[in-house]
Amino acid sequence: MAVIAIYSVKGGVGKTTLAANLAWCSATISCRRTLLWDLDAAGGAGFLLGIEPHARRSAGAVIAKATDPARLIRKTGFANLDLLPTDESIRAIEAQLTTLGKRKRIAKLAAQLGKDYERIVIDCPPVLGETSAQVMRAADVVIVPLPPSPLSARAFDLVAREVKANADPHPPILPVLSMLDLRRSLHKAARDANPDWPVIPYSSAAEQCAVQRQPVGAFAPGTPAAQAFARLWTAIERKLAKR
């Protein structure tokens, strides 16, 4: 089992889009039993997989160990791919986790879920705190989407420092230039400054995920965006194989 965390302290950088698409790649390309675990109250990950939210508010209770996660897990319309959804109750877990003093609660839940899943992809909220610190302790690899800018490397260093401060030993951290538009000179400069970083192009197919409510690979296979998500997934699997 491996936990893949999609994390950044910045909002709107493509975390949820990346999480839903990578989870789909894991389930469909690698044929792995995959769980997409949404820890952001905004609930975008489930939305992108076409799942309607439940009225029940139990996501926080799962973290508090008051509810069995199996009771919440939903099947998606895609083979091998399930969702552990979020809801408003998850907003309270930050305080709960701090009060409980159980530094490995999310890691232990992930280990429990690992009995049924080979890959767990976590969509994190853009927040620095106890929840993200716990996710770093649970993760086997951390994917950090970065907007292409002259500050990308600096932004990556900040997140990497955060991961290292919260997990010992810390998991490998993989920067990804997200929403790259090579027609823009600053994007091109960011790409040239970091030629080894994987790239997700700015594309209407990726944007359309929120309209189609499907991952790109499902409704627009063969597009550059679908290929980029698949390439990134392969790079992640390669990293995991080195563990």
Contact residues toward Mg ion (CB under 5 A) are 15-16, 44
Site for ligand ATP in 10-29 (CB under 6 A): 11-17
Q: Is 142 in the site for ligand ATP (CB under 6 A)?
A: no
Toward ligand ATP, which CB reaches closer, 107 or 143?
143
Q: Which is nearer to ligand ATP, 113 or 232 (CB)?
A: 232
Stretch that binds ligand ATP, among 9-17, 29-37, 50-58, 74-82 (CB under 6 A): 9-17
Q: How far is the CB of 156 from ligand ATP (least distance, A)?
A: 15
Q: With helix as H, strand as E and coil as C, how does the chain read?
A: CEEEEECCCCCCCCHHHHHHHHHHHHHHCCCCCEEEEECCCCCHHHHHCCCCCCCCCCHHHHHCCCCCHHHCCEECCCCCEEEECCCHHHHHHHHHHHHHCCCCHHHHHHHHHCCCCCEEEEECCCCCCHHHHHHHHHCCEEEEEECCCCCHHHHHHHHHHHHHHHCCCCCCEEEEEEEECCCCHHHHHHHHHCCCCCEEECCHHHHHHHHHCCCHHHHCCCCHHHHHHHHHHHHHHHHHHCC
Residues 100-129 that bind ligand ATP (CB under 6 A): 126
200 near ligand ATP, rule: CB under 6 A: yes
Output the smallest distance, CB 89 to ligand ATP, in A: 18
Question: 38-57: which residues touch ligand ATP (CB under 6 A)?
Answer: 40, 42, 44
Q: State in angstroms the smallest separation of the CB of 141 from ligand ATP.
A: 18
